[in-house]
A and B are shown apart, each in its own frame.
Chain A
Amino acid sequence: YDPDLHPFEVAREYTRAMNAVKMERIFARPFICGLDGHRDSVQCITKHSTQLSLLLSGSCDGEIKIWNVAQRVCQGTIPAHNGFVRGICVIPDGEAFYSVGNDKLIKRWTMNNYETPAMTIVGKHVFTSIDHHYKNPQYATSGETVSLWDEQRAQPLQTFKWGADSHVRVKFNPIETTVLASCAADRSIILYDTRQSVPLRKITLRMNSSTLAWNPLEAFVFTTANEDYNLYSFDIRYLQRPFNIHKDHVAAVTDVDYSPTGKEFVSGSYDKTIRIFPSDKGHSRDIYHTKRMQHITCVQWTSDNKYVISGSDEMCLRLWKAKASEKLGVTRNREAETLEYNEALKEKFSHFPKIKRIARQRHVPKHVYHAKREHKTIQDSQKRHEANARANSKPGSVPFVSERSKLVLEEEE
């Protein structure tokens, strides 16, 4: 290879990187379709554990719909509960699924029988969510307390209690299958182990968390969606501070779900937008919004890493591409090589100002744009006050405190 035969290497590569980034923005059309049918706002979505194309969604009028996403049709509707359907979870074999609702019932349904549930359990209090163990025939519900149930029994195996508040969400760890986490209404997050009778740890944040999601590839990482517009990623080995704060939403974050690669997650928020974050970065890499889409209640990332599904207040489920400019369908070898080359170029030249500007550019709804600006001025003024205080007092009396360490108010065992 003689570099003299190829002059202007950097300039040509830079031009190609510019073209690549511009084309990415040209082809960024993430919205695929909307799934209509619910008659009230969608409350929860779950993907099927074994079948890629199946999706179960529960709405606020007690209906559960089973969708075939590949064919974009609703396979069946089940009038499941009187009141909200709060949570659905599919058992690992994929034969049956559980649903909980505002009528204090846990119902077990088999996949083909939409008339009657296979089992109904009456509970003592309203259940807010349900999650199944990744291997064993056990599941956990959250409500006033977090209870661990066995599939055969009608009484919970174990009940965990810490404080008197109700729990909003419970999630099993997919890798460390005995570990659970729940979000409680007293702004705390509690970790449990099913092998112990007492909860493990409790951390209290500044504001309430609506949900949490475990990283499917890193056993000790979970991300919570908080009402102070941020998402926090915690390492369970060191709960004193989150190792990452994800900021970009302008209203309470309502749901979060990880991609099966564990490298990214999607979050939906009350501000009518969906954002996709890389799990190690503090800001989102993409934002999805539509005029028709109102407050988002639930999001899911499909198991083939390609699509993101969102359910919102206006009774509609929407299917989006996870990578907005990805070409769906068969890509030939040469095309795939060019796409990979373009990705490499974009990464290599990512810090050049023009390229960064084009890559970052997103059209954002007006309310989000204005809200962001306002938040920025608030933050800047706070920082300025702090800087002035620091400048005008004894050096060292106003230390630099990182935002991450300010978050967790207390940790208890």
Chain B
Amino acid sequence: MATRRTKKWLHVKERKSKFATRQATRSEILHVEEEGYIVPDAVDDEDERIVDLTQADIKSSVDIFSAQKRFDLQLPLYGPYHIDYTRNGRHLLLGGRKGHVAAFDWQTKKLHCELNVMEQINDVKWLHIETMYAVAQRQWTYIYDNQGVEVHCLKALDRSLHLEFLPYHFLLAATNEAGYLSYIDVSIGKKVAAYNTKIANGNGKCGTSVMCQNPSNAMIGLGHAGGVVTFWSPNQREPVVKMLAHKSTIRSVAVERTGTYMATSGVDAKLKIWDLRTYKCLNEYRTASTGASTLTFSQKNLLAASYRDIVEIYKDLYDEESSSTELPRYLVHQCPNGSSIASIAFCPYEDVLGVGHERGFVSLLVPGAGEPNFDALEANPYQTKKQRKHAEVKQLLDKIQPDMITLDNSVLSEIDRKAFVRKQEDKQKEFNFVKPKELIAKAEKKKGKIGKRLARKSQIHDAKLKEFLQQKQLKRQKTKK
């Protein structure tokens, strides 16, 4: 029952929001950068395949600034290296298994700190900013300053196998050797939750080190020995989602940035692409003998997978047209000396893939991997010190409480119908004179001829608009080339 006043108010609000969206689209003129891919001269040409391009070829054909981003670090002494890039893609953290930790600005090669923690390192992770990072050492997890000074020893995260940092919630999640998943709030230093994640699989195995983060809803995904993938939130003791992905141990899981697709690889040499909204398998591919040991998505939905000493990058994985079981390979790289790869990570906002292997670190050029236009209010690769300080304060103020982590982000923006009904019922019980309030009924779909006609019209209009926008984009790309 909307009065004239509320209708007018709604009308004003709608007009304002439309204006805001129009202004936002207009501001896209500020996006001066565009991503570029390698495109073959002639399609289906067997002589020239993109896959056959080596990094040397790419390096020689790009400008010097991008060519600088292709480099090798030979660190043969300290074991397979785990790597991490900061959120703005500017700083790199290397952690060798035998205790070597180094943090540096990989574009200017300026070293922040380099130390040996004299213990086995299982994982390294940057925290929200390039002044702090966490190292999962054999016994406990330590937090270091970017000068190499040990700042905290987190005894709550003992014997961690893998670390993940949720940037908007300031939560450091770690999986344990004993099978526990713990969350620590790094802004206040409190343990938020710790859950036992053992999935009964008959042989009482200990914790898993297969872990990934769903960046769109801050869920932590774990892969278990029985082929089960589970998603956890710090509010629940049980996993929120539990799905049987493979028939054997899961080797790696990765979730794409928008949270719609997930890639899993198992010991059964299969690589599966899942739709995370419906939890259905979209594509299934056969891979090399043991399955991809690490998987990671880039910002522009390229998937990188590592097989012992080879890293492969796939493009257009969930194109609806291709129905083949052949993986759509884009680029391939083999690490020298057959050193096995420990971790891979795409650098945000750059067309670079970082690979940490047994004998060091290598940075590969992957055209079209990174998001070309960064929003400086989110992550600014060209931060000054003052901007970094201000940004840190803003981030802390906007820190989302862990109890707001849900599977479906839209819950907060919708009307809580159940709570409304419950409130009415409670009131009715207390005093039985409540005038029944009406909740806004969901807009019913118009049935009948006119409704169908309208629906069809809007569909056609949408399709035409989409086509028009695609044409425009193609034209723009062509003129750019």
Query: From residue A284, how far is it (CB to closest CB) to chain B in Å?
Result: 20
Partner of B375, one of A5, A8, A383, A388: A5
Please tell me if A292 contacts chain B, counting CB pairs below 8 Å: no
Which chain A residues lie closer than 8 Å to B378 at the CB level?
5-6
B residues 384-426 with Cβ under 8 Å of A?
Answer: 397-401, 404, 409-410, 412-413
| Least CB separation from B375: chain A residue | A5
Output the nearest chain A residue to B431 by Cβ-Cβ distance. Answer: A384
* From A11, A14, A387, A400, contact of B431 by CB (8 A): A387
Minimal beta-carbon separation of A182 from chain B (angstroms): 31
Residues of chain B lying within 8 A (CB to CB) of residue A390: 433
Q: B400: which of A1, A15, A384, A388 is its contact (CB, 8 Å)?
A: A15
Q: Given contacts A5-B371, A16-B397, A391-B432, are A11 and B258 in contact (CB under 8 A)?
A: no
Task: Pick the contact of B409: A8, A19, A380, A387 (CB < 8 A).
Answer: A8
Chain B residue nearest to A5 (CB atoms) is B375
B74 lies within 8 A of chain A by Cβ: no
Please state if B412 and A10 are interface contacts (CB–CB under 8 Å).
yes
Q: Which residues of A contact B432 (CB under 8 A)?
A: 384, 387-388, 391
Scan A363-391; emit 1 where CB is below 8 A from any B CB, else 0: 00000000000000000100110111011
Quick one: which of B168, B257, B400, B413 contacts A4, CB cutoff 8 A? B257
- B326 within 8 Å of A (CB atoms): no
Does any Cβ of B come within 8 Å of A7's Cβ?
A: yes
Q: When the two chains form their complex, are residues A11 and B433 in contact, meaning their CB atoms are under 8 A apart?
A: no
Question: Quick check: is B24 within 8 A (CB to CB) of the other chain?
Answer: yes
B27 at the interface (CB under 8 A from A): yes
Residue of B nearest to A353 (CB): B419
- Tell me if B444 is interfacial: C-beta within 8 Å of chain A: no
Q: Counting CB contacts under 8 A, is A12 at the interface?
A: yes
Q: Least Cβ distance of A121 to chain B in Å?
A: 48
In this complex, which of A4, A14, A391, A400 has the most chain B Cβ atoms within 10 angstroms of its Cβ?
A: A4
Complex Cα spacing A19 to B28, Å: 30
CB distance from B329 to the nearest CB of A (A): 25
Query: Which of chain A's residues has its CB closest to B214's CB?
Result: A7
Task: Please indicate the chain A residues that have their CB under 8 angstroms from the CB of B412 in the complex.
Answer: 10-11, 14
Residues in B202-220 with C-beta less than 8 Å from chain A: 215-218
Is B25 in contact with chain A by the CB < 8 A criterion?
A: yes
Q: Mark B214-238, 1 if CB is under 8 A from A, else 0.
A: 0111100000000000000000000
Q: Judge whether B398 and A15 touch: CB under 8 Å.
A: yes
Q: Is B478 an interface residue (CB 8 A)?
A: no
- What B residues does A6 contact at CB under 8 A? 375, 378
- B155 part of interface (Cβ distance < 8 Å): no
CA distance A28 to B464 in the complex (A): 54
B residues in contact with A391, CB < 8 Å: 432
Closest to A384 in B: B431
Query: Within the complex, which residue of B371, B398, B433 is in contact with A383, where a contact is CB–CB below 8 Å?
Result: B433
CA of A387 to CA of B168 in the docked complex: distance in angstroms?
A: 50
**Contact: B401 with A15, CB < 8 Å?**
yes
Question: Nearest Cβ distance between residue B418 and chain A, in whole angstroms?
Answer: 14
Please give, as numbers and ranges, the residues of chain B lying within 8 Å of A386 by CB-CB distance. 433
Return B179 CB to nearest CB of chain A, in Å. Answer: 29
Is A387 a contact partner of B27 (Cβ separation < 8 A)?
no
B397 in contact with A380 (CB, 8 Å)? no
**Which residues in B have their C-beta under 8 angstroms from that of A5?**
371, 375, 378
B392 to chain A, nearest CB (A): 15
A-B contacts counted at CB < 8 A amount to 57
CB of B15 within 8 A of chain A? Answer: no
Among A1, A11, A15, A388, the residue within 8 A (CB) of B28 is A1
B435 interface residue per 8 A CB criterion: yes
Contacting A12 at CB < 8 Å: which of B168, B258, B410, B433? B168
Contact partners of B435 in chain A: CB under 8 A: 400
Interface pair B24/A1, CB less than 8 Å apart = yes
Chain B's closest residue to A387 (CB) is B433
A11 lies within 8 A of B404 (CB): yes
B 58-77 binary contact with A (CB < 8 Å = 1; else 0): 00000000000000000000
- A10's partner among B24, B216, B409 (CB-CB below 8 A) is B409
CB distance from A305 to the nearest CB of B (A): 23
CB-defined contacts of A387 to chain B, threshold 8 Å: 431-433
Closest residue of chain A to B413 (Cβ to Cβ) is A10
By the criterion CB–CB under 8 Å, are A7 and B216 in contact? Answer: yes
Interface string of B348-367 (1 = CB under 8 A from A): 00000000000000000000
Quick one: closest A residue to B400, CB to CB? A11
Residue of A nearest to B13 (CB): A348
Whole-angstrom distance between the alpha carbons of A386 and B215 in the complex?
Answer: 56
Beta-carbon contacts under 8 Å, B246-271 to A: 257-258
Q: Which residues of B contact A8 (CB under 8 A)?
A: 168, 218, 400, 409
Contact sample, A vs B, 28 pairs, CB 8 Å cutoff: A1-B27, A4-B216, A4-B257, A4-B258, A5-B371, A5-B378, A6-B378, A7-B168, A7-B215, A8-B218, A8-B400, A8-B409, A10-B412, A11-B404, A11-B409, A11-B412, A12-B168, A15-B397, A15-B399, A15-B401, A16-B398, A19-B397, A380-B431, A384-B432, A386-B433, A387-B431, A387-B432, A400-B435
Given contacts A4-B257, A8-B168, A19-B397, 12 further A-B contacts (CB under 8 A): A1-B27, A5-B378, A7-B216, A7-B409, A8-B400, A10-B409, A11-B400, A11-B409, A12-B168, A15-B397, A387-B433, A390-B433
Chain A contacts to B: CB under 8 angstroms: 1, 4-8, 10-12, 14-16, 19, 380, 383-384, 386-388, 390-391, 400
